[in-house]
Every structure is written in structure tokens, then in C-alpha cells.
Chain A
């Protein structure tokens, strides 16, 4: 069965520092992987997705993620954090039937000045 594990429920960085949010997945089929961001009092917004092809995926707001099959990982990175990046981030994998997404428990990113 498909599942997603996000390591670290809370990550704190300084403005300008590297952002690294970890996601490991389990999938019995080739995975489709997604990262979403949720700002306070809003719904989820797609950051980026991996389906097939290039394993380094670039998304919005300077974020990118690399699919590593051997490590079953899809970690999200951004070279330089901005105060506006403070939000909750969710990693997700498409379910085996291909009909819905299974989400991780989320990681809250705090950015300090």
C-alpha cells in the first residue's frame, strides 16, 4: 500500500538559510509524488509534482525536489529561505488505484529574521 512519511513535524530556519523538508514514500507501483503548501487559513496549493522523466523537479517560489528511487525519497529544498515561506508543507503520493492522493502528516516551516 502507498504511504508517505514526513520526517520532522516542525522545521525552523533563519532567513536566507537552506530549506530542507524530508519526505519518504512507500509505493507498490511507480509513484506520482506531489508537494503542497498551506498558508494560514487557506487551502492547499501545489508546489511541484513528479510523474515521470527528469528526477529533479522545479516548482513555484524557488522550491525544487529530487526523486530518488533507491532511497524512496522526494525531499523538498529551497536554497534561501524567505519570511513568506513560513507555512505548512505536505508531501503526497498517488494511491495504487490512481484515484486519490495519500498525504503525509505535514511539516510546519518557521522562518526567523
Chain B
């Protein structure tokens, strides 16, 4: 079974802090994703990566950056956290290899509160 592990279940940070959200997958997947989940808005794609050191902006990249130095690890970075970034963050991975129909496998999420 694919395991996607998000390092923190809950985080509380102050406005202006630099925040790192870490995600690791153990199935040698090519693609990794960061989504943000908010009530009534569903999941919105922040960034994704289809290879090491490669990244693509999703629908809401503003205020975020990502890092993928190793295939199994994908980090989401909030350069200067703001209260409107309080949310549930979900990491996911998939097989990749171009246009494929493999499903996304999700971690359990990190609930970030910015005060």
C-alpha cells in the first residue's frame, strides 16, 4: 500500500513566520501534489511536481513555494505566513509518467493555524 506521510498533524504559527510543511511518499511515485482544503471550497491545487527539482504552479500558488530535492519528499513553504493561509493542507502522490490515469494517494493532512 502506498503511504504518504505528512510530518505534522497540527501546526500553529504566527503571522510573518516562515513555515515548512513536509511530505514523504514511499512508493517511488513521479508526481507529488500540494492541495489546500477549505470548507465550502473543496480542494484547490497549490503546486505540483512531476520530477525531482521540477515544479508547476497550480490554481492558487500565491504566497507559497515548494521544494523537491529528492523524489520521495515534497515540501510546501509559506515564506511569510498570513492568517488567510489558515487551512488544511493535503499532500498527494501518483505514479506519473505523463498523461496517466493513476489515482492520487493522499496523506492525512496538516491543519495549519496562523495567528
A interface with B by C-beta (< 8 Å): 9, 32, 34, 36, 41-46, 49, 51, 90, 94, 97-106
Chain A contact surface mostly? loop
Chain B contact surface mostly? strand
| Total CB contacts across the A-B interface at under 8 A | 56
A43→B106 contact, CB < 8 A: yes
B90→A43 contact, CB < 8 A: yes
Could you say which residues of chain A place their CB within 8 Å of the CB of B31? 99
B48→A100 contact, CB < 8 A: yes
**Which residue of A43, A51, A99, A105 is within 8 Å of B56 (Cβ)?**
A99
A43→B4 contact, CB < 8 A: yes
| B108 contacts A by Cβ under 8 Å | yes
A42 CB to closest chain B CB (Å) equals 6
Quick one: closest B residue to A106, CB to CB?
A: B42
B42→A41 contact, CB < 8 A: no
**Which residue of B48, B58, B98, B101 is within 8 Å of A32 (Cβ)?**
B101
In angstroms, Cα B105 to Cα A43, docked, is 9
**Which residue of A44, A94, A99 is within 8 Å of B48 (Cβ)?**
A99
Q: Range of interface residues on chain B?
A: 20 to 34
B56→A94 contact, CB < 8 A: no
In angstroms, Cα B109 to Cα A94, docked, is 21
A9 CB to closest chain B CB (Å) equals 7
A51→B40 contact, CB < 8 A: no
**Which residue of B40, B101, B108 is within 8 Å of A42 (Cβ)?**
B108
B2 CB to closest chain A CB (Å) equals 10
A101→B104 contact, CB < 8 A: yes
A103→B42 contact, CB < 8 A: yes
Interface residues of B in 21-52 (CB under 8 A from A): 31, 33, 35, 40-45, 48, 50
